[in-house]
Each structure stands twice: as structure tokens, then as C-alpha cells.
Amino acid sequence: MNELILKGAAELSQLMADGQVSSQEITQACLDRIAQVESAVAAFLHVDAERALAQAQRIDRQRAAGQALGPLAGVPVALKDSFAYAGAPTTCGSLILRDWIPPYNATVTQRLLDAGLVILGKTNLDEFAMGSSTENSAFGPTHNPWDLERVPGGSGGGSAASLVAFETPLAIGSDTGGSIRQPAAVTGTIGVKPTYGGSSRYGLVAMASSLDQPGPCARGVLDAALLHRVIAGWDPKDSTSIDAPVPDVVQAAGQTDLTGLRIGVVKELGGEGYAAGVERRFTEAVGLLEAAGAQLSEVSCPHFPLALGAYYLIMPSEVSSNLARFDAVRYGWRVNDDGRHSVEQVMRRSRGAGFGDEAKRRIILGTYALSSGYYDAYYGSAQKVRTLIIEDFAAAFERVDVLISPATPTTAFKLGERAGDPLAMYKADLCTIPSNLAGNAAASFPVGLSPEDGMPVGLQVMAPPLADDRLYRVGAALELALRQQWSGPLWAELVRREESR
């Protein structure tokens, strides 16, 4: 295995600055790895090898000419296939967008390019980011590199899997109900949902506009912070973007002493329905945080158990509105039309063939919730619950600086295990949904492997809005403790397993 693909973004950046390796060499190593493992992992929907190498060569020339470059210049990154990237297919994992090649870049995409990162390609996802397993992709599922018979989480399973398959050192995801954090938890990686409005949604194909948020994915805390800094900040193209300074997440990622930090353990996120191995590793991690100087206490957020029901009314309502544009007339793939059908018939046939079952399920549910006579009873009531959850967070953050919980109730489940049971699938996001409804910052950090099945377990950290730096402070302490416990990073165990096969 090429040693370059095992290194993190910060280390690769330093090696390039020291002249020990070029961006082209790093990019080629990643592309070689993709060619080696993609048939088994299926993390990518599109690999943009030619353009990636051209970007790497340009960065190498700029560095050789003495130009000032950003800290991640020349480092490869994978982009979730819901972000527009001019000239590259952007499918959102759906047949209805299978032929769309955007003529523009999403703000996140443009900021990656402006910072000199090398975009390797587009990663797989549940169709329009609707799912918790990446099995809802129209182009087939992604497999978890820890166990190829298990899911990598969703909706951003492709981005998470690409990290632990060592195809890329960095990836971009989007988080609507846990689509960054839940895959991070079940793959042993790091996934961060910034404060809502902290990173631009312009050019991110919308699923649920009041919930979607782009964020960084990485194998190391500092790497995630460096990527966070690149993509975050105000964007006039996004009306929900916050015009405020980005918290100093990079500085926070260098802190490992938690002395004086008040951490609240959410009482409602645990117990029945949570795997014993997940709870064991979570409890051990609480002890590690206390040993690092944090002050731990239990905090009740009484309305969190209502979050799942509220989310599955608010989110589908926004889905039904956002996906209405894909009508085969203005946007979206069209079923072959022989000219004998009306516009309505073409639209119905195209949407019927272009959307998968989960997308249809959520469109129908959302349309019903918004329909005359049911709006107040369903959508209106769900928004009231959302307010109560926001109030729970506000009350909790008066007592503590951050909240913690398991990131997801179980480890990665088997492919197909929950495919026929939507409710069981939805429950994978029990812990992550409250932060999307409230808009505060949240992240998942690995805390070891479950003693039950040897699969990764994640701990979720939740911080107040615009206090994203607190996530990284806790994550850095956990990372240090875990490295000491495992005599290296957690993913090194994955390398040992691969080399022993």
C-alpha cells in the first residue's frame, strides 16, 4: 500500500511545502488506490482523473514559482455528488438527473478550487440525500470498508467510505438529518455539521432548505478543521448565510486540555434501542473527557424524543416543494416522448421512472402534510415541536458549553437489513436530527470499535450556534486519548486488517 494514501491532509501539505512530494504524486496515488478498490467499495459515481491531475500540476507549478498557497493547496478531496461542479456530472444519486452537467460551481466547490484543493470526483449518496445507508442511490450501494457486507451510513456514505478506503484524505458532505455525522460514526471517521448558515448552500441541490448544511469529512480532527475553514463563511448568493466571522476551528483543533469545559450528557439519547457495544464505548469516552479536565453532568432535553416525528413531517414537506422542479419540462430527465402524450402524461411518466421509492415516499408524505385541511395538524404542529427542541438546546447551553451523546444508536448494519423497513432506517438518525431542527453545530468523532461486532462507534458533540470551535476542542481531546489507547489512529486497525488478508 502506497504510504502517501495513509497520510492526513495536514501532513501531506507539510510534505509538499518541504519539497518532499508533489501534488501530482499524491493525486496519482489516490487515483491508483481508487482504481484498486472501487470495484469493491463503490464510493465514487464519477472520477475526474484528467482534470484532477491537471489541477495538481498547476499547484505544483505555482509552488515551484514561489507563489503563496493555502495550507491545503494540492491536497486531494472528494465531493458529494449533490454539489454542482462545472463540467462534471451531478446526479444526486438519481436517474432524473443522470444527464445533468452543471455549467457553474457551487460556492463550496469554488472555495475548494480557490484554495488549491484537487477535486478527485463525485461520491455516491442516497438519492437526493434521502437515506441512512447509501442504498437508495439509483446507481447502486456503497460498501463499508470495515466490512464490505455492511452499509457506510447515509446519505453521504460515499464520502465517508472514500476516506476509510484511503481513496482520499478529505471529503465534502451535506447534513440534513445526520448525513455527515451518521456515516462518520459507522466508518470511524470525522464528520462535522457546521452551524446552519455557516457554510453556503448555493449550488448544493436542495433536499430540505431549512435543514441542509455542507460540512467537512476527514480522518483527523485538524484535517477536518482546515477543510471547515476553507468552505465556511458568508456568501451573498445564499440568503440563509450568516454574515459573521468563522470561529477559529483550526486553533481549537490544537487544544487537548478540556479543563473548565462543561459537558452535558443528554439523558434522552441512550438506553432502550441503543446497542450495548455503542453504549459501552460511549461511557468509556465520557471517562476520557473527564480525565482530560472536563466537568461532566447529565442534562435533560425532554422534547428530543419528538424530533424524529417532527423531522419526518418538516423534511418531506420541503422535499415535495424542492423536487417539484424536476418535471421533465424545465429540469430533469425525460422519458422518450413520441409526441402523442400531453405535458401532464410526460411529466407523470418521467417522474415515475426518474425517482426511486424513497424519494416518492417522501414526496407523497410531504405533499399530504402540506395539503389543505392537514397543514396545521401536521406541518404546523411539527414546527411547534421544532421550537420546543430549540428551547431545549437554549436551556441546556445555559448550564453547559457542549452536549454529547452517541452519534447513532447502533453500529453499521448489514446491506439490505433495513431496506424493507423505512421506520427502522429512519431511527439511525435519532441522535443527529435535533441539531438539524435547531440549526446548532454538531459533529461525530470516533471513540473505538464495538466489542460486539468490531465496527466503529461515534460520539456526537453538539455546540451552540456559531460555537463550532468547541466541537473541535472536544474532538482533539478524544483523538489524543484514542491514539494513546490504540497506539495510533483508529483507522490504522483497518490497515492492519487489510494487510492481514
What pLDDT score was predicted for residue 53?
98
Q: Which of 23, 132, 155, 200 is catalytic?
A: 155
| pLDDT of res. 274 | 97
**How high is the pLDDT of residue 330?**
82
pLDDT (0 to 100) of residue 486: 83
- The residues, ordered by sequence, that sit 6+ positions from 219 with a Cβ below 8 Å of its Cβ are 8, 163, 164, 169, 189, 190, 489, 491
CA 422 to CA 30: how far, in whole Å?
A: 35
Which residues lie closer than 8 Å to 47 by C-beta, 6 or more apart?
31, 34, 38, 120, 121
Give the chain's mean pLDDT.
96
Alpha-carbon gap, residue 428 to 262, rounded angstroms: 27
Q: How far is CA 400 from the centre of its chain?
A: 26
Give yes or no: 179 in active site: yes
Distance CA 238, CA 107 (A): 9
The values of phi and psi at residue 326, to 5°, are -85, 80
326 vs 218: CA distance, rounded Å: 33
Q: What would the pLDDT profile of 116-166 be if each residue is shown by its tens digit?
A: 999 999 999 999 999 999 999 999 999 999 999 999 999 999 999 999 999
Q: Which CATH number describes the domain made up of 3-304+386-500?
A: 3.90.1300.10
Candidate list 13, 179, 350, 435, residue with the active-site label: 179
In tens digits, the chain (501 residues) has pLDDT values of: 899 999 999 999 999 999 999 999 999 999 999 999 999 999 999 999 999 999 999 999 999 999 999 999 999 999 999 999 999 999 999 999 998 999 999 999 999 999 999 999 999 999 999 999 999 999 999 999 999 999 999 999 999 999 999 999 999 999 999 999 999 999 999 999 999 999 999 999 999 999 999 999 999 999 999 999 999 999 999 999 999 999 999 999 999 999 999 999 999 999 999 999 999 999 999 999 999 999 999 999 999 999 999 999 999 999 999 999 998 888 888 887 676 778 888 888 889 999 999 999 999 999 999 998 888 899 999 999 999 999 999 999 999 999 999 999 999 999 999 999 999 999 999 999 999 999 999 999 999 999 999 999 999 999 999 999 999 999 999 999 999 988 889 888 999 888 887
Closest CA to 370 of 385, 380, 360, 383: 380
Q: Which of 13, 22, 23, 80 is catalytic?
A: 80
How far is residue 283's CA from residue 280's CA, in Å, rounded to a whole number?
5
Domain extents in the chain: 3-304+386-500
Asked if 414 is an active-site residue, the reply is no
Quick check: is 82 catalytic? no
pLDDT of residue 223: 98
